[in-house]
Structure 1
């Protein structure tokens, strides 16, 4: 995508297949609340994909120069529909590291295009 860059984030779910199914269903087409999607787009997320392998989630965000995670976080707290979504998903999620950071960014360690 022209004018965008990729941001990769990771998160874990509770180690329970029922939780995985609930998370997958919540993210199925038509189930993510429109205010959540609108806020993401308004704050520079051009596209987002979440992949799941067991309880591990990997989020790929394609963001524009307008990407403003702080403004998105602030709106997420102040908008009841978005806040409720995050609370609902937060019950299913487990921070992948001991510091408790949710959805930490994963910097690149390998890029095939940089190798002959």
Structure 2
């Protein structure tokens, strides 16, 4: 199993942040998006928030590849619809590359 940690910012607006959290409650998530995550060999995914900064932890199988997931998502209309909705709330980190959403974090410490 591999762990991936990523970061992204939300727009700093309490109403948008509340709506973003609404969409991420288990009962409001889209089953097609959940299925796409599992189909990509992501075994567990958690998102944490402080202020408007998001932190995602993904536990994946050894068969997970970000490029493969991106290719699968590009062909999935429901995932594309979800991503468009999420951009209402999200904004790229200042150091993100053009078109980059979630930015991979570097591990700098382990106990």
Q: TM-score, normalised by structure 2?
A: 0.92
Which structure has the greater CA radius of gyration? Answer: 1
- Give the structure 2 partner of residue 89 of structure 1: 86
Q: Could you tell me how far 1:8 is from its partner in structure 2?
A: 0.1
Give 1:110 deviation, angstroms: 0.6
Q: Deviations over 1:8-47 (max 9, x none)?
A: 0000000101111011000001211111111111111000
Gaps of 5+ in 1: none
Cross-structure match for 2:44: 47
Query: Among 14, 32, 37, which residue is 1:35 paired with?
Result: 32
Instruction: Count how many residue pairs are aligned between Structure 1 and Structure 2.
Output: 109
Partner residue of 2:101?
102
Aligned to 1:64: 61
Shift of 1:73: 1.1
What's the Cα RMSD here?
1.1
1:7 is paired with a residue whose SS is: strand
TM-score, with normalisation over the residues of structure 1? 0.88
Gaps of 5+ in 2: none
Alignment pair present for 1:14 and 2:8: no
1:23 aligns with 2:25: no
